């Protein structure tokens, strides 16, 4: 038994090192105070549309102490027509060229809308941008609830996804990393410092399924719970 003492000491040292690394990583991140929840980026993906409209009328369940949480309908014209978009895909036009484009009469509706969203929740890439945006989507694919990560260096969001996955267990909740060395994504949520994509399916376009809506609702709830714990100083 005495011969195993050094192993226990090494194990304890490793644990202390891991805890110190986790602690310092969390300490480097400022509190997350401004959060937005986008629905209707694609107007025929209705779970997010229904949730955002519900929370705009009664947002008690998404409010957390010390945070501003804003539900927002991203593409209202497309939602009204129950179509993916009017002129072009809103989830592809948050790049510098489109955000800086001169507004003229024939500018695509979604480009103009992107500029409006950038003014409200950005500017993209600035210190004034919202801390976190949940962007709610549906898919016809049978992929359940999937979390979309845009950067493998976003420690805060990675820890949030780990928390959400544990909270949903034993349900599966895959994480899709869309980072690419030569491609720059121009998603609606990329305005925020921490963009979070939530994709839930299967659900046909223009349809709302109760089970899909409930799963999306729970993902957002657990994400907001994580933010509150993070702001209160919990180490992850």
Q: Looking at the annotation, which residues are catalytic?
A: 199
Tokens 């895909």 appear where?
89
Phi, psi for 180 (deg, rounded to 5): -145, 135
- How many residues does the structure list for the chain? 236
| Contact (CB, 8 A) for 41 and 80 | no
| Contact (CB, 8 A) for 93 and 105 | no
| Contact (CB, 8 A) for 142 and 182 | no
Instruction: Find the DSSP H helices in 40-182.
Output: 46-57, 76-81, 96-99, 109-121, 155-168
Residue 123, preceding bond cis, omega within 30 degrees? Answer: yes
Look up residue 136 and give its DSSP letter: E
Pairing mode, if any, of strands 194-201 and 144-149? antiparallel
Give residue 28's Cα distance to chain centre.
20
């Amino acid at each position: 038994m005495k011969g195993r003492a050094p192993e226990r000491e090494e194990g304890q040292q490793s644990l202390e090192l891991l805890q110190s690394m986790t602690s310092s990583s969390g300490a480097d991140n400022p509190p997350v105070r401004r959060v937005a929840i986008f629905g209707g980026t694609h107007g025929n993906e209705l779970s997010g549309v229904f949730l955002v409209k519900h929370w705009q009328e009664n947002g008690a369940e998404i409010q957390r102490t010390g945070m501003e949480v804003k539900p927002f309908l991203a593409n209202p014209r497309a939602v009204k027509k129950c179509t993916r978009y009017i002129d072009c895909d809103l989830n592809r036009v948050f790049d510098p060229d489109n955000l800086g484009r001169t507004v003229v009469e024939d500018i695509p509706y979604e480009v103009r809308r992107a500029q409006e969203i950038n003014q409200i929740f950005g500017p993209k890439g600035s210190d004034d941008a919202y801390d976190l945006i949940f962007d709610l989507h549906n898919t016809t694919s049978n992929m359940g609830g999937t979390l979309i990560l845009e950067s493998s260096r976003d420690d805060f969001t990675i820890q949030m996804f780990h928390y959400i996955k544990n909270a949903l267990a034993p349900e599966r909740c895959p994480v899709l990393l869309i980072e690419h060395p030569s491609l720059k994504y121009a998603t609606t949520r990329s305005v925020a410092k921490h963009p979070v994509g939530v994709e839930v399916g299967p659900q046909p376009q223009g349809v709302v399924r109760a089970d899909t809506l409930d799963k999306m609702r729970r993902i957002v709830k657990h994400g907001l719970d994580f933010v509150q714990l993070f702001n209160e100083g919990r180490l992850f």
